[in-house]
Structure formats: C-alpha cells, structure tokens
Amino acid sequence: MKIFAALRKGENHPIFCEDFLVHSPLGQSFYVAAVMDGCSSGKDSHFAATLLGKLLLKIGRTMNPAPKESAQSVSKQILHSLFELLRQSAEWLQLQEEEMLATLLLLVYHTGHQEACIHVVGDGYVNIDDAWQAFEQNNQPDYLAYHLGKNFEQWYASQKQIIVCQNPTSLAIASDGIGTFKTLQTELPEGFDPKLYLMQDKQMVQNPQMLKRKLVILEKTYGFTPFDDVSLVRIDFDPVPDALPKPE
C-alpha cells in the first residue's frame, strides 16, 4: 500500500492555502485520510479547514476500532466524534458559523477486509480504480458546520454522498480545486487531463514523491496551474512498474 499526498495553493489565494489534508493509520486494521477545503466566502477559511484536520488527528490518537468493524461503521464513528468536537470547539473558542465552514472528504480503509468507505460532506472529487466522480453542489456546499445544532443521527441519516467499495486497486480523494487547472499552452498530449494525471496515472508510482513531482511537471512542462487550492490524497495497492517496456 503506497500513500501519496499533495497540497497546492491556487492562484486565486495569494496569501493562505485554504485547503488542508491528513492521513494516518487508525488502530491495527484501518487507515484514514481526509481532505478539507475552507469556504472562500467564510471568515478565516484556512483556519476552518485546518481545524477539521486537527480534530481528525485528535480522534485518530484516541480511537482504536476493533478489526471486526466495517470501514463504514468506523467512518460513522469518526464523523460522530468530529461532530461533537467541532461543536465543543465552537463553544470553547466562541466561533461563529462562518468561521467553521469547510468541506470534508473522509476516506476509511480496512486493511484486512480490503474495504473502503468514502464520505463526501460538501463537494470534491473521488477516484476509485479508473473511475472518477465529481460531487457538485452548485457552489453551495452543505457544510458540516450548518448542522451542529442537530442530532448527529438525524444528520447522518440524511447523507447521500457515501461510497463503499471492495478490493480497490487505487483510491483518491481531492478538493474541487483539482478541476481548476488551466494552461495557455496549446500543444498538449491528446486527451491530457491534469486531474486524471494526478488521480489515476501510474507513472512514477514507485516514487514516494509522485504527486509532488507531477505537480511540478504539470507547471514546468505543460504550463498548468490551479486557480483554486488543491488537496489530494491517493492510495495505490497494486505494484506497477514506472514504465511499461516498449514493444520491439
């Protein structure tokens, strides 16, 4: 299992990157990753994304799920803890709703069962093997912070953006900024798509810095830069050589 992660500030945000990401093992049988995207029209949106990430790290240090549990049940437990901790943080720090607005893509992988659960709160991109999906909410994401006054079970029951899959060979979650890459160059490889280059392409998969290298290549070779911030975590499971041998 190879873990890749990258964070890239977009041209639209000259001072702060408003995205954040985390990834770490959880207990003996799980791996957790998350990307957060702060609301640009909110207040201190870089703080909102970072707050969610730091709370997730806190949860990861104290939670030890049993191996028999499913990826989705552990994902729900994490979200429940996050829900409560975010509510407590709002009280402790006297935060306004606009100071806590950030999207969340949460990935939980059960290493023993080879099962993954991805929960999207708001918008963003998900890639499983060679299939990607964009979750769009018309630039009006349904942020977790909007629902802190509700009962968690009531909120969770309304969630529709949950994916569960078995035996994936590759997983990736990304903030919606991955869809904002632009270039002025006209001579590009046919069908070249920056988001698929980052989420699916197997080149350099043996390099631990694959995503960071690819971001450099996108800019230096093809002139691609993102307008919005980009946060991306990718997990590859199948061993793939850096390059296939050319036919003789």
Domains detected in the chain: 2-236 (3.60.40.10)
pLDDT tens sequence across 95-136: 999 999 999 999 999 999 999 999 999 999 999 998 999 998
Q: What region does 63 belong to: left with phi over 0, alpha with psi -120 to 50, or beta?
A: beta
**Nearest-angstrom CA–CA distance, 152 and 70:** 19
Write b or e for each residue in 136-159: b if 16 or more Cβ atoms lie within 10 A of its Cβ, otherwise e.
eeeeebebbbebbeeebeebbeee
Question: Model confidence over 154-204: pLDDT tens digits?
Answer: 999 999 999 999 999 999 999 999 999 999 988 888 889 999 999 999 999
Residue 186, amino acid = T
> Between helices 71-93 and 45-62, what is the axis angle to 10°?
120
Instruction: Name the phi and psi angles at 160, rounded to 5.
Output: -115, -15
Average pLDDT over residues 81-95: 95
Specify the DSSP element, H or E, that contains 109.
Answer: strand 102-110
pLDDT at 245: 43
Please state which of the ranges 17-31, 50-64, 184-198 shows the lowest mean pLDDT. Answer: 184-198
pLDDT tens digit sequence for 203-220: 999 999 999 999 999 999
